[in-house]
Amino acid sequence: MEKFKAKLRDIQGMKFPIVNAAFKGKDGQIYIGVMMVDTGSVNCILNKSVLPYLTDDAVIEGRTMKIHSVQGRGVECQGYSLAFRIGNGVFSDTFYVNKDMDFSQMFNGPFIGIIGHEFLRNNNIVLDYETETLHASEGTIEGNPGEYAFLFPMSYGLKQYNVPVVGLVYGDKEYLMVADSGANDTVITKHLMDDAGICVKHLGDDGTVTCFTTDTLETALYDVTLSIISVGGTPERPKIYTQNDKVQVISNCPYIMEGLKDADGNGLMPVSGMLSSDFMHRNKWVLDFGTGVMYQRKDVA
């Protein structure tokens, strides 16, 4: 049987990982559009403009979920069952709808919805910026950590925060960012930038970030140095993966996620930013949800 594979559509222009998709709707008609792969979203999200084309039995009675965005604000969403095709694969999952937001304005062509990381994990799928594809995981990672420019497990972030995270280290200070393919620009808080002293240059003051809850946050654009921890070092001398990025800086909150606790009630480190799809594509990252590891090969650095 041929392994699942789907080409990312115009990743250079779109900035987001977009795949062509199709589903069978009312009267057996096939509807064609696109879906975005969002590692910062747990669940699959259906665009509200798709609702008129679904079969009458698509709604899942009693299945609702509060989907949270930046700063913890949530919106109640109804669940719908959707069978769909992407690439050479046919899948089925529960999609939730925010009826206050239409994503079509953000993308070219009919936008069906968002694929969350829970779907990627359940189906052992790789978001591969190196080959610009979505494909089935091989189930193993080759070589040793020293053969990679960057290598980090997703297990801690997925267990504690329900999203993949990376750690930033500056001297004895540590911070966390979400590896978020649903963010077209890297976003950090001004608290992180100032506390770590990572500003290279101020580039402008007129940016905005739009959240899933439809809130808009004003930002300023900076060139900063991201010092990301990688597997392969020691506690005394951690391996650091350093890249500069142009980031949108939020000044109205010190963290984008805070006050979280683990299963035992212990406080978790707050999250200070979101690493963008554009950053991961530029550096040819591979997020393998079959093995639970994200990495960049040295030979593509």
Q: Which ranges constitute the DSSP H helices of the chain?
A: 11-14, 117-122, 155-160, 190-196, 277-282
Extract the tokens encoding 285. 């990252």
Extract the tokens encoding 87. 């690439």
Which comes out higher in pLDDT, residue 6 or 56?
Answer: 6
Measured CA to CA, the distance from residue 30 to residue 55 in angstroms comes to 12
pTM: 0.93
Q: What is the pLDDT of residues 225-264, one digit of tens each?
A: 999 999 988 877 889 999 999 999 998 889 989 998 988 9
Q: What is the pLDDT of residues 116-164, one digit of tens each?
A: 999 999 999 999 999 999 999 999 988 888 889 999 999 999 999 999 9
Q: Do residues 136 and 125 touch, judged by C-beta distance below 8 A?
A: yes
